[in-house]
Amino acid sequence: MEIRILEESQIDPMTDAAVRGVLAECFPHYSRLFSTSRHWRGNVPLFTAIAVDKSSVVACSVVIDRTIRIGARPVRVAGVGNVCALPAYRGKGIVDRILLAAMEVAAEQGFEWGMLFCRPEILKVYERTGWQPCMDRRFVRTDSVTGKSVEMPADHGKMFLRIGYRPLPAGDIDLQGDKW
């Protein structure tokens, strides 16, 4: 098993199709989208982490470069998304290896915090690699279809990772766009 980090410009058509295949299998309700694009909600990754077993892509995750607002200040975060592993590759720590590799590169690129959203039952998956729930704050996103500002439900999984040495600034969080 090999973990590779690919910038968007390094993803050739074969890798693109392989990653889309993994995404479509892991997120069946978005299989139509992933049959043509890897970019959930149009988010183009800064880089993609993939796990490759015997020349096949079996798991992946993306990092999106986003500037959100916390309280009054803009804050750049490594937005993690599209985290998944094919069923046969779950429960083996492969997702942990992908997340750790991705966050190492994010640290090299100067990100101080990671942020992601998930269903509450998946919080524990991310806690294994140091992510912390961020459920006590008010989160607002801008719906990409209606353009309206929407408060994210209190029980929606929201997590951050301290990559640098500074704690996440205090305050309500505005994603200044939709989720990723």
Ligand X SMILES: CC(C)(COP(=O)(O)OP(=O)(O)OC[C@H]1O[C@@H](n2cnc3c(N)ncnc32)[C@H](O)[C@@H]1OP(=O)(O)O)[C@@H](O)C(=O)NCCC(=O)NCCS
Residues that bind ligand X (CB under 6 A): 26-27, 83-85, 90-91, 94-95, 118, 121-122, 124-125
**Residue 144 near residue 30, CB atoms below 8 Å:** no
Tokens standing for residue 147: 């353009």
Tell me whether residue 122 or residue 171 sits nearer to ligand X (CB atom). Answer: 122
End-to-end, the C-alpha distance of the chain in Å comes to: 27
Phi and psi, residue 76, nearest 5°: -85, 130
Minimum CB distance to ligand X, residue 60 (Å): 9
Tell me whether residue 25 or residue 108 sits nearer to ligand X (CB atom). Answer: 25
Minimum CB distance to ligand X, residue 123 (Å): 9
Amino acid at site 156:
H
Minimum CB distance to ligand X, residue 90 (Å): 4
Tell me whether residue 33 or residue 171 sits nearer to ligand X (CB atom). Answer: 33
Rounded distance between C-alpha atoms, residue 180 and residue 39, angstroms: 9
